[in-house]
Amino acid sequence: MIRSAFTAVALLAVMQQLPASSLTIDFENLPALPPQPNNFIAAGPMQTYSNAHFNISGGVVLGNPAFLAGFGVSAGSPPNLYGTTDIADPTLLSVITLTFPFSDSVLGVTGVLFNGQSIPEDYTIAVFSGATPLIGATFLGVPAASSTSDFMRFSLAEPAPITRITFTTPNADINGWDFLVDDITIVPEPSSVLLLACGGILLWAKSRHAARRLL
């Protein structure tokens, strides 16, 4: 009876650490941030944000950027979003990288990508499961930042667990770069994570019981 109660407590502790059916990185609630500077110069050097279920790096968080006509009007959730550019701090990269632990079994990711350039621009989203490249997506001619259509919604779904996503423009060497992402929703496969967790706990409990019987 004591062993069963302990196993139940251990299982509950693991369940509390598992990702929900989905979570959204909106840069207001996750990560929890107040309104940030509204331009890249004021935002400063690259910022990395992470928790047990994701890590995002390469850019900085901006709040209510006036140069994006579509943000908060056509897409995105004010005040904050995450972006990078070549005209501000030199630590900002031409690639935004988002990673997930393999154990979360992330099978889907959706979100919004904004073009911060004054010209239409192309963007590439690369997707990986470990070192293996998956399908990804390419957007051609995303309207300039002055347009209320200055964004593309992306939706990525894979049968293999997604562990890394990169956002960039293939024209970074020619046109520079200026782009931002927001409302990134991560959809894991909680059933498989829970199955692995339960199996591990039950195996541990069984081994402890067997060891005690030998004493």
Q: What would the pLDDT profile of 101-122 be if each residue is shown by its tens digit?
A: 999 999 999 999 999 999 999 9
**Residue, of 84 and 202, whose pLDDT is higher:** 84
Residues 6+ apart with CB under 8 A from 7: 201, 202, 205
- Count CB atoms within 10 A of the CB of residue 85: 22
Tokens 């667990």: give the residue.
161
* Mean pLDDT for the stretch of residues 56-65: 98
Residue type, 33: L
pTM across the whole model: 0.80
What is the reported pLDDT for 6?
36
Instruction: Report pLDDT for 21.
Output: 77
Percent of the chain with pLDDT over 70: 79
Tokens of 116: 């911060």
* CA 101 – CA 188 distance, rounded (Å): 10
Look at residue 190 in the predicted model and tell me its pLDDT.
Answer: 61
70 against 203, higher pLDDT: 70
Instruction: Answer yes or no: is pLDDT of 56 > 60.
Output: yes
Which tens digit of pLDDT belongs to each residue from 14-27?
334 444 579 999 99
What's the pLDDT at 3? 41
- Inform me whether the pLDDT recorded for 213 exceeds 60: no
The pLDDT of 63-78, averaged and rounded, is: 97
**Paired tokens of 94:** 């031409």
pLDDT at 11 over 90: no
Assign domain 22-191 to a CATH class. Answer: mainly beta
Percent of the chain with pLDDT over 90: 78
Residue 92 has pLDDT above 50, yes or no: yes
CA angle at 197 for the pair 192 and 199, rounded to the nearest 5°: 95
Gap between the Cα atoms of 8 and 171, Å rounded: 54
